Amino acid sequence: MAKRTTASKSKVKYSKETYAYWYESMLLMRRFEEKAGQLYGQQKIRGFCHLYIGQEACASGAITALTKDDKWITAYRCHAHPLGLGTDPGAVMAELFGKITGTTKGKGGSMHIFDKERNFMGGHGIVGAQVPMGLGIGFAEKYKGTQNVCICKMGDGAVRQGAFHEALNLAMIYKSPVIFVIENNGYAMGTSVARTSNVTELYQLGEAYDIPSFPVDGMNVEAIHEAVAEAAERARKGDGPTLLEFRTYRFKGHSMSDPQKYRTKEEVEEYKMKDPIEQVLKTIKDNKIMTEDEISEINARVKKKVTDAVKFAEESPWPEGEVAFQDVYVQEDYPFVME
Pairing of strands 191-192, 187-188: antiparallel
pLDDT recorded at residue 159: 95
- 130's enclosing H/E stretch is helix 130-144
pLDDT recorded at residue 333: 78
Residues of the chain with pLDDT > 90, as a percent, come to: 87
> CA-to-CA distance for 267 and 251, rounded, in angstroms?
10
pLDDT recorded at residue 257: 87
Condensed to tens digits (0 to 9), the pLDDT of residues 195-239 reads: 988 999 999 999 999 999 999 999 999 999 999 999 999 999 999
pLDDT recorded at residue 326: 85
Condensed to tens digits (0 to 9), the pLDDT of residues 57-112 reads: 999 999 999 999 999 999 999 999 999 999 999 999 999 999 999 999 999 999 99
Lay out the sheet containing 242-247: strands in order across.
Answer: 120-123, 71-74, 150-155, 178-184, 242-247, 213-217
State the average pLDDT over residues 31-46. 96
pLDDT recorded at residue 167: 98
Indicate the SS3 state at residue 30. Answer: helix
Torsion-angle region of 295 (φ positive above 0: left; ψ -120 to 50: alpha; else: beta): alpha
Q: Give the DSSP letter string of 167-235.
A: HHHHHHHHT--EEEEEEE-SEETTEEGGGT-S--SGGGGGGGGT--EEEEETT-HHHHHHHHHHHHHHH
pLDDT range class, residue 339, cuts 50, 70, 90: low
Q: What share of the chain is helix, strand, coil (3-state, %, to 5)?
A: 50, 10, 40
pLDDT recorded at residue 12: 82
Mean pLDDT score across all residues of the chain: 94
* Amino acid in position 260: Q
Condensed to tens digits (0 to 9), the pLDDT of residues 124-149 reads: 999 999 999 999 999 999 999 999 99
pLDDT recorded at residue 323: 87
Higher-pLDDT residue of 190 and 300 is 300
Contact 89, 306 (CB under 8 A): yes
- 286 CB-near residues (< 8 Å, 6+ apart): 11
Residues of the chain with pLDDT > 70, as a percent, come to: 96
pLDDT recorded at residue 26: 98
pLDDT recorded at residue 160: 93
Is residue 306 predicted with pLDDT exceeding 80? yes
State the average pLDDT over residues 16-25. 98
Length of the chain: 339
pLDDT recorded at residue 2: 43
Condensed to tens digits (0 to 9), the pLDDT of residues 232-254 reads: 999 999 999 999 999 999 999 99
State the average pLDDT over residues 116-130. 96
pLDDT recorded at residue 8: 43
Task: Report which listed range, 188-192, 248-252, 321-325, 333-337, is most confident.
Answer: 248-252
pLDDT recorded at residue 9: 44
Condensed to tens digits (0 to 9), the pLDDT of residues 157-174 reads: 999 999 999 999 999 999
pLDDT recorded at residue 3: 46
Contact 157, 195 (CB under 8 A): no
